[in-house]
Structure 1
Amino acid sequence: MSFDLIIQNATLPDGRSGIDIGCRDGRIAALEAGIIAEAGQVIDAKGLLVSPPFVDAHFHLDATLSLGTPRMNQSGTLLEGIALWGELKPIQTVDEIIDRAMRYCDMAVSQGLLAVRTHVDVSDADLKTVQALLQVRENVKDYLDLQLVAFPQDGVFRAEGADKHLLRALDMGVDVVGGIPHFERTMADGARSVTWLCEVAAERGLQVDMHCDESDDPMSRHVETLAYETQRLGLQGRVAGSHLTSMHSMDNYFVSKLTALMVEAEMQVIANPLINIMLQGRHDTYPKRRGQTRVRELRDAGLNVAFGSDCVMDPWYSLGSADMLEVASMGLHVGQLSSRADMRWCFDAVTELPAKILGLEGYGIAVGNKADMVLLQAYDPIEAIRLKPTRLAVVRKGRVIAETPPKLTTLSLEGRPGEVDPASFRPGG
C-alpha cells in the first residue's frame, strides 16, 4: 500500500495525538498511529496540530482590498461604508474586481482558509460583481470552495430593479439567496422583502443567508419574520441569519420568545465579531454596547452558530488578514467565552460549524473525507486561538499547496535559551 502524502505524528483537534494521516487520490485513506508505507511526500508534524481547513461563512469578496478607493470611511459607520461602496461601484471594472478577489484568495490559502461564502452585490443592472465573482469561483475551484450569495446591498425593494437583478444573478449561477431587510425604506418593506426572498429560495431549492438586523435598534426584528417564513416554506436547516446584532439590545423576554422560534425553524446563525465590535454602538456614549449577537445563548439553545470575518480592507473595515483565528479570538473576547470548553468551541466556530452552514461535502479529518487540512505551529485548538500560529503546511486534495517556515526567534541573552518557539509556551510547559 502506498500514499501520495503521509503526515506523521499529528495531534488532532479532538485531542488524539501521535496520529499518522495517509492521503491517496485526494482523500484521507488512513488515520492511525505508525503507518508504515511508501509515500510521495512525508511530513513530520512533530506532535503539532493538524486541523481541517478554516471556513469563512460570511465575507464580501467583491469589495475586499478596495480600501481608500475612492476615499476613506471617515466616520467608520456602516452607513458611510454603504455610501462609499455606492461611489466605488460605477467606477470599478470587472477586471479590477477579479484582481482584488484573486489576491485575497491567495492570502486566504496562505492562512489555511479553503472555503468562503461571499455575498455579491446584485443591486445594479450591469451585475459587474456577479460576472467577476463567477469567474473567480471558476479560477479557484481546484483549491478553494467559493459559495456566492445574491446580496441586494441597497435593498431588494429600495433599489429600483434590484429584485429583477437578483433573479438574473441566480439564473447566472449564484448559489444562495441573500437580503438586507433592515435597509429597506420601512419596516413593512423589510418584512415584505424577507417573505419574497424566502419564496424565491423555496421555489428554486436554494439556501438563504440574510443580513438581518445589523443594527443597534432593539425594534429591528426581521429575524422573527425570517424564522416564520423558514417554517412556513419548509426551509428548515437551509436558512442562516447573519449579524443579528439588534439581539444584543433586545429585552430578554422577547429574546426568549425569538430564540424558541429560531430553534423551531432550525435556523443557522453567523456572527461577525471583528465588524460587529467595530461598527455597532457607534451612537452610544457610555455604557457602550459590544454589538455582537447573543452567541452563547443561541448556541446553548441548540442553534448552529459560526463566526465570519465579513470584511478585509474595504469601505467598512480597514484591517483584516484572512486569519479566521483572529476572528475566533475576537468572538471569544467579545462574547466572554473564557472557559476551556468555550474556547475550544470558538475553534469549531471557524472550522466545523461554518462547514455545516456551507454544506461542505467530505469535510473533516476522517477516513474517506477530502484530504484538506492545515498543519499549525501550535499543539491544540485553544493554543491556536491564543497564538494565531504560522500555517506550516496547507494541504488540498492530498497535495501541499502552501508552506511557511516556522516562527522562531534567536535570543542573545546570557543564561537563556538561544531560540524561542512560541508554541513551546504552554500551561505547565
Structure 2
Amino acid sequence: MLIKNAKLLDGRIVNIKVEGERISCIGDCRGDEVIDAENKLVIPPYFNMHFHLDSAFTSVMNISGTLWEGIRVWQEIRGKLTEDEVYRNAITAVKLMVAYGTLWIRTHVDVTEKSLKLLRAIKKVKEDMKDVAEIQITAFPQDGIYTDKGNDEILRKAIEEGADNVGLIPHNEITREDGVKSIKFAFELAREYNKDVDGHIDETDDPNSRFLEVLAKETINNSWEGRVTAGHVTAMHSWDPAYRFRILPTVSRAGITVVPNPLINAVLQGRLEGYPKRRGNAPIKEMMKFNVNVALGHDCIMDPWYPLGSGNMLQVLFVAIHMDQLTGAEELLNSINLITFNSAKAWRVKNYGIKEGNDANLLITNADDVIDLLRFMEPPKFVIKKGKIIAKDGKYVLFNGKWEEVKRKP
C-alpha cells in the first residue's frame, strides 16, 4: 500500500509506504496500490483510555443527573442484563469507536455483579474484536472493595479469570480508612499478578476527597511507576491551589496518568449546587505544567450516567478544550496528544506513531490540519490497522472478513 500526498502533524507532505504490517518508507516512496490522501492530515489512531462497555446502550434515565443516582440505577439493572445483551451492546460500541478512529480501548467491567457475567461477556467482545481493536479490561469494583463482604475476593477472582488491570474506587468506600485500605489491596493484587492499576479516583466535588495522594504514595512505595492510571479525579477542581501545588509533583514523580472524562463529568459534577457551577474536569493545563501525563476517556454511551455519546474521541477532546480553555495556538495543536501519544505512553504501546519500522496504524482524515480536525470532528476516510483498511468514512467496518455498515444503536 502506498499513501501519497499525506500531511503529517509537522506539516510535511510525504508518501507513506506500507509493507505487510509495517511502515517501510516515509518520503519519496513508490508503490502499486495507491491511496491519495490529497494533502489531508494523516495521523496515528486514537485511544479511549476510560470506558464502560458493560453498561453501554442500557439507556436508563438518571432523573437527578448525579453520579450517585447513576450507581443506584446501575445496581438495579445489571442483574437483569443477559450476557448476550451486554455482548451485543458492547460490540456495537466498539464498532462505532473503530469507525471514528479509535483502535485502543480500556474498559472497566463491574465485578461487584458477583456472577461475573459482565466480565465473561466483555472477554468475548475482546476476543471477537481483536482484529479491529485492542481492548484492555479493568476489573472494576463499582460498589467498592470493602462495602460488602466478599468484594475483595471477587476482585481477585476477576483478575484470575482474565482481567488485564486491577480497578478500585476508594471515594465510594464507606470511610476514608476503607478507601486507603482499598488502594493498598489493589497494589497487593497488582504485584501478585503483575497487573497495572487503573482506578476511579476522587470522582466527586468534595474537596476533602484526596485519595490521589495515597495512590501516588503507594505507586512509589511499590515501585509501580508508569503502571498506574487515575480516572476522573474531579475533586481536583475543588482542591485548594496550594494543595494542588504540593501534590502534583508527587503524582508526576509516580508516573501516574490522570484520565479526565469531560463528556460525562461535565454533566455529573456540580449537581448539588446553584450557580456558578464547577466545571467537573480535572485541570488539564495545570497538571501538564507539573509534567503529569494526561490522557482522555469517553467513559459512557447511553447508560445510567450519560444519555448521549457517539464513540468519537474528537468529541471528547473538543469538550476538554472548551472546559479547560485550551484555545491558544500551541495548546490547540498539542491537544491531539491527549488522545494519541499521551495515551500510548500510559498504555506502553511500542511502535506507535508514523515512523519507518513502526506498525502501520494510521488514520487518513478529511482535515487540512489539527484545527479543522477539531472544528468538524469528522470520522476518518480510512482507518488502517497493521497495514489493513478496517473502517471507511465512519460508516463501514471490516468485521469477521466482511464489510458491514456501522449501527448507531444495537
The bucket for the TM-score relative to the shorter chain is: over 0.9
* SS in structure 1 of the partner of residue 104 of structure 2: strand
Correspondent of 1:260 among 249, 252, 263:
249
For residue 230 of structure 1, what is the amino acid of its counterpart? T
CA distances 1:361-400 after superposition (whole Å, capped 9, x unpaired): 3221111111111111101122211111231111111111
Structure 2 counterpart of 1:208: 197
> What corresponds to 2:4 in structure 1?
8
For residues 39-58 of structure 1, the aligned pairs below 5 Å read 41-58=33-50
Say yes or no: does 1:356 pair with 2:345.
yes
The Cα offsets for residues 307-364 of structure 1, whole Å up to 9 and x where unpaired, read as: 1111111110011111100000100000011111111222110111112211223221
Distance in 2 (CA, whole Å) between partners of 1:371 and 1:179 is 35
Contact persistence 1:347–1:382 (CA under 8 A): no
The question of 1:386 aligning with 2:393 is answered no
AA of the residue aligned to 2:52: H
Task: Kindly provide the CA deviation profile for residues 102-148 of structure 1, in whole angstroms up to 9, marking residues without a partner as x.
Answer: 11111112111111000111112210111011111100111100011
Rounded Cα–Cα distance in structure 1 between residues aligned with 2:5 and 2:69: 50
1:403 corresponds to which of 392, 397, 409? 392
Q: Which amino acid aligns with 2:23?
A: I
- When residues 154 and 380 of structure 1 are mapped into structure 2, their CA distance, relative to the original with a 3 A threshold, is same
Question: Contact conserved, 1:148 with 1:175, CA < 8 A, in 2?
Answer: yes
Match of 1:175 in 2: 164
Paired position in structure 1 for 2:304: 315
Give the one of 88, 94, 97 matched to 1:99: 88
Corresponding residue number in structure 1 for 2:220: 231
Distance 1:207 1:110 in 2: 28
Moved over 3 A (4+): none
SS at match of 1:276: helix
The answer to whether 1:27 aligns with 2:22 is: yes
Write the deviation string for residues 157-185 of structure 1: whole angstroms up to 9, x where unpaired: 11331111111111111111110000001
Please tell me whether the aligned partners of residues 86 and 121 of structure 2 are also in contact (alpha carbons under 8 angstroms). Answer: yes
Q: TM-score, normalised by structure 1?
A: 0.90
1:421 matched residue in structure 2:
none
Aligned equivalent of 2:143, options 147, 154, 159:
154
Q: Which whole-Å CA distance do the structure 1 matches of 2:314 and 2:207 have between them?
A: 30
Aligned to 1:60: 52
Instruction: Tell me which amino acid in the other structure corresponds to 1:37.
Output: G
Alpha carbons of structure 1 residues 225 and 405: separation in structure 2 relative to 1, 3 Å: closer
- Asked whether 1:217 is paired with 2:211, we answer no
Counterpart of 1:184?
173
Deviations 1:197-229 (A, max 9, x none): 112112222111110000000000011100110
* Aligned residue type for 2:313: M
Amino acid corresponding to residue 246 of structure 1 in structure 2? A
Identical-pair percentage: 41
Counterpart in 2 of 1:411?
none
Counterpart for residue 410 of structure 1: none
- Cα offset for 1:37? 2.7
- Partner of 1:137: helix, strand, or coil? helix
- Which consecutive unaligned segments of at least 5 residues does structure 1 have? 407-429
Whole-Å separation in 2 of the counterparts to 1:37 and 1:99: 40
1:39-89 per-position Cα deviation (integer Å, ceiling 9, x unaligned): xx3110000011111110000011111113xxx111111111111111111
Q: In the TM superposition, what is the alpha-carbon distance from 1:405 to its structure 2 partner?
A: 8.5
RMSD over equivalenced CA pairs, Å: 1.3
User: Partners of 2:349 and 2:17 in 1: how far apart?
Assistant: 21
- Matched pairs, number: 395
Indicate conservation of the 8 Å contact 2:360/2:384, yes or no: yes
Q: Which moved more, 1:195-204 or 1:309-318?
A: 195-204
Helix, strand or coil: the match of 2:79?
A: coil
8 Å CA contact 1:325–1:388 kept in 2: the answer is yes
SS at match of 1:307: coil
Following TM superposition, by how much is the alpha carbon of 1:189 offset from its aligned partner in structure 2, in angstroms?
A: 0.6
Quote the residue 1:140 is aligned against. 129
| Distance in 2, Cα, partners of 1:63 & 1:145 | 19
| Structure 2: runs of 5+ lacking an equivalent | 396-410
